[in-house]
Amino acid sequence: MKRSKKSIIAMVSILIVGSTLMSACSSQNTAPPKSGAQLWGENCIRCHNAPSPSAFSDNQWETVAMHMKIRANLNSHETAEIVDFLQMAN
Amino acid sequence: MKTIAILLIVLSISAFGQDYTELINKVDRATPGDSQFLLRGYAHSGFEQFGENSSFVGGSFNPIFLWRQSDKLLFEAELELEFEHGETALALEYANMAYQLTENLTVRAGMFLLPFGTFSERLHPRWINRLPSSPLGFGHDPIGPMRDLGIELRGNAKFGNRSLTYSIYTTNGPSLNSGVDHDLEEDEAGMLNYLNVEDNNANKALGGRLAIFPFSKPSLELGVSGQFAKVGNHETDYEETTANLYALDLSYVNNLTFLKGVIDLKGQVNSINVDKAEYFSDEDSSFYSFENQSQVSYIQAAFRPAYVRNSFVQKLELVGRYSQLVTPEGSHWETNQDQFTIGLNYWLDWRSVLKIAYQVNGGGSEDTHAEEEESDHGDESSDNAILIHWAFGF
């Protein structure tokens, strides 16, 4: 039980430090928008390997992307960029 | 002669027109409509040895049905089919419909995987989970909610180059086993049942998760989750008993150029706190009570040398995980276990993996009731284990 409490304290500390970092950095200049390829590479691997563009057809990618948009809490712009990249590269 | 030539040209144009019309009709028939159906899912099979007992396992698969009605409407459902005690078992993992309200906000209703940490919602599928087993307390019959019936709002927000994601939901919520229900195990008094197809009281659980991505690149994700509900049955002594559930999770996935590979760190802590209550024991016909607090946690690290030149080595992945399960002291399901698992994976492609792992279990329960509970949890056996799985996403 003590070890779990230590884990909770450690993770809360990380969360607080992370929140502080984020709020401190949020006022800085925004970077140029990311490409679909970059968004695909950065977001898919948060949970699983980045999928091969050839795994699905253009229409199938639209359905897969909508499913993943909800599961990974992506916004519509990011999702559209990823789909455009996958449809172009498959 | 001139007349014949003109006649031939007219006939050729006419024939071409007919072919062209047929071609257009074929293309029209082949063009997908607004509705799109897609069958996805995952499966696994393998071999497991716990102590002196060994068996081939798996032969199970989880089909996922996706029905995209429009750019805004999606229905998703997952079934789980597997052999259990010599029979084919069929279970509904989730079935829900989602509607995109704005670019950043989605509402969904039905049975959905709960955003309580990340393991249950995103990491448990066999081809995503880096090890053949789930962490202690995160498998079947988990210590913490995995799925429920209700309604949820979820979305994201940008703050400069940083972002956060959020989910808030209300569901039927967990129910408390008071030990007197005929259809529940008396020895599990005080335990929560996390899936109530029909709610056991008028109260609805309220929960959610907030996650931040502190860097421009979403390599680091830190999340906090909570769920709060009254869990006792309607019109019983336990009606006002409440449960406060919390979870913290972290994920760090990044390319390490100096090691020519990808590091993947995952962790989660679930804390389950139920009001203290008195339960009746048939063994000595008396009431007993205990501090009803359970905690499960795991931390996992995986490394894949994906950028080395050797094509065999770049498909290998080394994984290590430590997990812990602590249930209430004084309950009939008391246990205090920890587990260390080390594994080696070989990726056949991006969604098909051969996993070999060795699992060492420590601690254990203090009475036979808890041992029965352990066996119910399957992968929480007290025996050390060798696990070999082939997981397949499709």
pLDDT at B190 over 80: yes
**Same domain for A16 and A44?**
no
**Same domain for A14 and A41?**
no
Q: What are phi and psi of B145, to 5 degrees?
A: -70, 140
Residue B284: which domain range?
A: 100-393
Q: Which residues of A touch B99 (CB under 8 A)?
A: none
Q: Which two tokens stand for residue B289?
A: 């009570």
Closest CA to B131 of B361, B381, B380, B355: B355
Lowest mean pLDDT among B224-233, B255-264, B378-387: B378-387
**Same domain for A51 and A79?**
yes
Query: What pLDDT shows up at residue A10?
Result: 57
When pLDDT is cut at 50, 70 and 90, the band that residue B76 belongs to is very high
Q: What are phi and psi of B41, to 5 degrees?
A: 150, -160
Distance between CA A65 and CA A87 in Å, rounded?
11
Beta bridge partners of residue B205, listed in sequence order: B171
When pLDDT is cut at 50, 70 and 90, the band that residue B369 belongs to is very low
Query: Count of domains in chain A?
Result: 2
**pLDDT tens digits, residue range B270-328?**
999 999 999 988 878 889 999 999 999 999 999 999 999 999 999 999 999 999 999 99
- Would you say B353 and B346 are in contact if contact means Cβ atoms under 8 Å apart? yes
| Residue B371's CATH number | 2.40.160
Residues 6+ apart with CB under 8 A from B164: A22, B156, B157, B210, B211, B212, B213
**pLDDT tens digits, residue range B104-155?**
999 999 999 999 999 999 999 999 999 999 999 998 789 999 999 999 999 9
In a domain, B28, yes or no: no
In a domain, B47, yes or no: no
In a domain, B160, yes or no: yes
Nearest chain A residue to B306, by CA: A49
Closest CA to B249 of B167, B333, B335: B167
Mean pLDDT of chain B: 89
In a domain, B295, yes or no: yes
Query: Count of domains in chain B?
Result: 1
Strand, coil or helix: what is B144?
coil
Q: In chain A, positions 10-39, which contact chain B (CB-CB < 8 Å)?
A: 11-12, 14-15, 18-19, 21-23, 25-28, 30-31
Token pair 């070890």: residue: A3
pLDDT at B375 over 50: no
In a domain, B88, yes or no: no
Distance between CA B188 and CA B171 in Å, rounded?
23
Beta bridge partners of residue B96, listed in sequence order: B76, B110
- Would you say B251 and A46 are in contact if contact means Cβ atoms under 8 Å apart? yes
**Same domain for A41 and A63?**
yes
Residue B193 to chain A, least CA–CA distance (Å): 22
Distance between CA A86 and CA A80 in Å, rounded?
10
Residues in chain A with pLDDT values less than 70: 1-31
- Helix, strand, coil percentages, rounded to 5, for chain A: 75, 0, 25
**Same domain for A24 and A57?**
no
Nearest chain B residue to A33, by CA: B161
**Same domain for A73 and A46?**
yes
Residues 6+ apart with CB under 8 A from B31: none
- Would you say B196 and B172 are in contact if contact means Cβ atoms under 8 Å apart? yes
Residues 6+ apart with CB under 8 A from B266: B118, B119, B123, B249, B250, B251, B298, B299, B300
**Same domain for A16 and A50?**
no
**Same domain for A25 and A68?**
no
Nearest chain A residue to B123, by CA: A47
Residue A68: which domain range?
A: 36-89
**Same domain for A52 and A75?**
yes
**Same domain for A63 and A85?**
yes
Task: Report CB contact under 8 Å: B218, A43.
Answer: yes
Task: State ipTM.
Answer: 0.85
Query: What pLDDT shows up at residue B28?
Result: 64
The region that residue A4 occupies, defined by phi over 0 for left and psi between -120 and 50 for alpha, beta otherwise, is alpha
**Same domain for A82 and A55?**
yes
In a domain, B90, yes or no: no
pLDDT at B12 over 90: no
Residue B269 to chain A, least CA–CA distance (Å): 7
Query: What pLDDT shows up at residue B372?
Result: 41
In a domain, B71, yes or no: no
**Same domain for A60 and A21?**
no
Task: Calculate the CA B332 to chain-centre distance.
Answer: 28
